[in-house]
Chain A
Amino acid sequence: MDFLDSRHSVAKPGFSRWLVPPAALCIHLCIGQAYAFSVFNKPMSQLLGITEHVPGDWSIADLGWIFSLAILFLGLGAAFFGKWVEDVGPRKAMFAAACLFCGGLFVSAIGVSLHQLWIVFLGYGVIGGIGLGIGYISPVSTLIKWFPDRPGLATGTAIMGFGGGALIGAPLAVNLMAHYKTADNVGVAQTMGTMGAIYLMFMMVGVLIVRIPRAGWSPAGYVAPTASQGLITSRNILVGEAWKTPQFRLLWLVLFLNVTAGIGVLGQASLMIQEMFGPRLLHHLAGTPEAIKDLAVAGAAFVGLISIFNMAGRIFWSSTSDRIGRKPTYMIFFALGAVLYTLVPTFGHMGNIALFVIAFCIILTMYGGGFATIPAYLRDIFGTANVGAIHGRLLTAWSAAGVAGPVLINYIRQYQLDHGVAKADAYSITMYIMAGLLVIGFICNFAMKPADEKYYAKKLAEVSA
């Protein structure tokens, strides 16, 4: 297993740095399957009844915990193993991520076969979740080192893969379940096992391709800045100091607020379009020749559409941030996001599906863009030395938002329904609250300034320690 050591993954002269983004994509396209886990929910709630939910079957509410646990352990895994990832290099970290994530799928397949939900929680939620966390951060600092001239583009490419992973994972799972389904088996366990095997092979290609630049390497024509420029530092703050800085706390809030607003809507998008435009959609879809027969399918199509914008926004905004800067990019996210969230209820009242969909597509580009731009923002503020480990700790904001976003949107909606608000109007207040969160995010981002001198590593030896 020596080849996994970072000393064996140092690039030889002539190596093209453009091989590193596909290596990162091999990991992120697979672990991004987590976003599509909900395709298993309905069949997993009918493991005993096969065609319908029967007593003894798992409830959808219980199954929802699998994804929540996976996101929780993603954050915890990234936070706890971030420094280890920095120490051992991307190859060993990507290998560990592949084993954990795919191992989690295999364990879950066993849990489904035995109809033991706790095994699925342990498999996909805990083991797979830690794999998600390690896999998510493993190529980030390597990409930043290969692309010091375009860190946003480089990390955005990888993180775009996480968004794209859902687009692959959902139809792949649906097709496999259709293939394995029999009269007495919904095919979930076999599908999870097969996906684990496919993803393991795919991720191992990334493990084989990835390389780290040798010491002192820099791309042609690139001159590393010798002095800090604005928010972009030319020095380093180590992970042990970084998380004590006000800048880390502000960035944590920036990510948390951006993700809370986006994740709450992403999880409810299907229901929202059905409840806001139900009668209109039914009429609208009645004439379509193809398979769309009910509102749920229309809702799923809407979720698919905004997932594409979620993915595209990751590469668009992160590469834009290389040109206009990270702080202005987040200013746009929060300002434009707040305006669009405020307008969404109006579009709903107008009954204008096109404007409603366009608004959500733009919002979702900024949700994805927030994830993809944050590693480069961290690089700007804290330097390159420990950016992977710092990124890992910051991802706890994602875990927190993964709980806060859906809870906020669900409970506020339920409160309104309980007080007699019509279903179609129930999301208005939620949208205004989300807009308010984005205004707070705008203020946090506005307050960002370079870190105090006392936090910087004093010696080069300290950086490489």
Chain B
Amino acid sequence: MNANVGDVPDPGNTPKLVAAWVFVGIPLLWGVWVTLNNAIKLFQ
């Protein structure tokens, strides 16, 4: 079995990894922010 051959991720992947998480993170955080802003008024 050739397990663990690719276990150590290439450090060159880091920018790609950051870009991918930022790409999905920004719209998600925007959605949470807008929703929270509306919801918080319920308790003001």
Contact = CB atoms under 8 A, between A and B. Distances in A.
Interface of A: 11-19, 22-23, 25-26, 29, 161, 164, 166-172, 202, 205, 209, 213-220, 285, 288, 290-292, 298, 300-302, 304-305, 307-308, 311, 357
Contacts of A29: 24, 27-28
A431 B12 CA distance: 54
Given A14-B6, A161-B24, A216-B2, A167 B41 contact: no
A60 B20 CA distance: 39
B9 A15 contact: yes
Given A217-B4, A217-B6, A291-B41, 14 more contacts: A14-B12, A14-B13, A15-B6, A15-B9, A16-B10, A26-B24, A29-B24, A29-B28, A161-B24, A167-B32, A217-B3, A301-B42, A307-B35, A308-B32
Interface residues of B, number: 31
A217 B9 CA distance: 13
A308 B39 contact: yes
A167 B35 CA distance: 7
Q: B9, B24, B39: which has the most chain A beta carbons within 10 Å?
A: B24
Among B1, B21, B35, B36, find the residue whose CB has the most chain A CB atoms closer than 10 A.
Answer: B35
Nearest to B36: A308
A305 B39 contact: yes
- Which of A285, A301, A308 gathers the greatest number of chain B CB atoms within 10 Å? A301
B5 A13 contact: yes
Contacts, number: 115
Contacts of B7: 218-220
Interface of B: 1-10, 12-13, 16-17, 20-21, 23-24, 27-28, 30-32, 34-36, 38-39, 41-42, 44
Contact of B44 (A167, A214, A217, A288): A288
Interface of chain A: mostly helix, strand, loop or mixed: helix
A205 B32 contact: no
**Listed residue (A13, A213, A216, A304) with the most chain B CB atoms within 10 angstroms of its CB:** A304
Contacts of A301: 38-39, 41-42
16 contacts: A14-B9, A17-B9, A19-B20, A22-B24, A161-B24, A164-B28, A166-B31, A167-B31, A205-B23, A215-B2, A217-B4, A218-B7, A292-B42, A300-B38, A302-B42, A304-B36
Contacts of A169: 31
Q: Which 8 A-B pairs have the closest CB atoms?
A: A14-B10, A167-B31, A305-B39, A16-B9, A168-B31, A220-B7, A22-B20, A304-B35
A220 B8 contact: yes
A214 B8 CA distance: 15
A14 B6 CA distance: 5
B30 A168 contact: yes
Given A11-B6, A216-B2, A217-B3, A305 B35 contact: yes
B30 A14 contact: no
